[in-house]
A = this chain, B = another copy of it.
Amino acid sequence: MDPAGVRRVFAEAKEGRRDFLRSAFAAAAAGVAAAGVRAAPAPADGDPNILQLPEHSRALGQAVALNDGYGKPSKYESNVRRRQSPGLTQTDQASVSFAPLQSLFGIVTPSGLHFERHHQGWWDIDPSKHRFMINGNVKTPKVFDMDEIMRLPSVSRFHFIECGANTAMEWGNVAVPTVQYTHGMLSCSEFTGVPLITLLQMAGVDTRKNRFVLAEGADGAAQTRTIPMELVESGEVLVAYGQNGEMLRPEQGYPLRLVVPGVQGVSWIKYLRRVKVGDMPFGARDETIGYVDLMPDGQHRQYSSIQECKSVVTTPSGGQVLLDKGFYNITGLAWSGRGKVSRVDVSVDGGRNWRTARLQGPVMSKCLTRFSLDWVWDGRPAIIQSRAIDETGYVQPTRPQLRAVRGTRSTYHNNGIQSWLVQENGEVKNVQVS
């Protein structure tokens, strides 16, 4: 607007002609905006000032607090969703949905995209009716309601959770197409709750004699798992009600879930209703029939519940396409059930040469760590791998190293190095490097 125009705007405004003020300001905004967007569509609109502007730069948008005051992702992101693997399980309730790792950033998994693994479907349990009991070898068995738990001292911590069966298909020669299906039973959240040891102490536990607890869920599966008292005593095991700032989601055990950092997901009992204290492992159903590692000699390994150090490149990964040569930011996730990740190496030639990746801070214990590495793709085939090392010095094994010890018939605890082949046409696929 020229100076005369400005004077006119203020004169009109004084007289209360707000409509004019609005349109004048819109025109001013349009003048600024036209410089900003080169390729904006030209709407069929009479006003020459706004010819170059998309609608969102010249009209009134949406109001606040829509959708019952709870926001949703963009409609353009509908492809970013958790996915069930067709045919993997016989029912949709005793099933799995995988997190879309290929589309995620940083380390926090949005709760709406957190992977699901149910043994008998999920429930939305009324928290006013939910109770949590401590019994077994304690002086005074206790029953807590949610109000009683939520007024106790709480902590909040960032931790990953990984299903023991994550990456299971890679044991065989089935190279499933995307990182969502190879590694998507992995998520990471800020959990809030009361350390289990606090509640056990209220019940008068004697931890010298009683080295195990049994945790039990209130869903139809009545999922039960033995947890070593050593982990409970560390203060790390939480009776959690919060996840990523809000109450747990129903699929994640609302209103109460056991958080067992570093341990496979099946032990993070959802809909937690009971912890029983005992002096030996409980040998629950899923500690004997499932979640055991079949070894090459035909025996199976039990109580192997710590998730060992592991990593995976999420971009570029299977199903993605590199559109042309040039710079790319190779990025992925690393984690260890034994503590912090100390280093991640990345290879673009199938493991012959390795470069050390950048780790994004803060690097937290038993939490995902985001790594990245600059890479200029020359257009030739490349096999991309990552190898994580944790603070204990443990090095993530190659696929052949893992098979030499564990054989090929396991379902659980596959932490081998993942290989992605970038083909000449830019298409990325899952390959198994022997």
Question: A14: which B residues are within 8 A, CB to CB?
Answer: none
Question: A152: which B residues are within 8 A, CB to CB?
Answer: 327, 329
CA distance A96 to B64 in the complex (A): 6
**Is the beta-carbon distance between A249 and B71 smaller than 8 angstroms?**
yes
Q: How many copies does the complex hold?
A: 2
CA distance A311 to B103 in the complex (A): 35
Give the total of A residues in contact with B, Cβ under 8 Å. Answer: 116
**Is the beta-carbon distance between B218 and A250 smaller than 8 angstroms?**
no
CA distance A29 to B30 in the complex (A): 67
**Is the beta-carbon distance between A64 and B116 smaller than 8 angstroms?**
yes
Interface of A: prevailing SS? loop
A100 — nearest CB in chain B belongs to which residue? B69
A192 — nearest CB in chain B belongs to which residue? B105
Say yes or no: is A331 at the interface (Cβ < 8 Å to chain B). yes
A252 — nearest CB in chain B belongs to which residue? B71
The contact string, 1 if C-beta is below 8 Å from chain B, for chain A 334-374, is: 00000000000000000000000000101010000010101
Interface locus among A80-88, A257-265, A397-405: A80-88
Question: A273: which B residues are within 8 A, CB to CB?
Answer: 33, 36-37
The contact string, 1 if C-beta is below 8 Å from chain B, for chain A 99-131, is: 000011111111111101010111111111101
**Is the beta-carbon distance between A247 and B74 smaller than 8 angstroms?**
yes
**Is the beta-carbon distance between A33 and B222 smaller than 8 angstroms?**
yes
**Is the beta-carbon distance between B61 and A372 smaller than 8 angstroms?**
no
**Is the beta-carbon distance between B246 and A103 smaller than 8 angstroms?**
yes
**Is the beta-carbon distance between B123 and A58 smaller than 8 angstroms?**
no
Question: A72: which B residues are within 8 A, CB to CB?
Answer: 70, 112, 249
Say yes or no: is A62 at the interface (Cβ < 8 Å to chain B). yes
**Is the beta-carbon distance between B111 and A71 smaller than 8 angstroms?**
yes
Which of B29, B78, B96 is within 8 Å of A222, CB to CB? B29
Could you pull out 9 A-B pairs where Cβ atoms are within 8 angstroms? A26-B220, A29-B221, A35-B274, A59-B220, A61-B122, A65-B81, A74-B247, A105-B242, A107-B190
Residues in chain A within 8 A of chain B (CB atoms): 26, 29-30, 32-33, 35-41, 54, 56-65, 68-78, 80-84, 91-93, 95-97, 103-114, 116, 118, 120-129, 131, 133, 135, 143, 147, 151-156, 190-192, 216, 218-222, 224, 241-242, 244-251, 254-255, 271, 273-274, 323, 327-329, 331, 360, 362, 364, 370, 372, 374
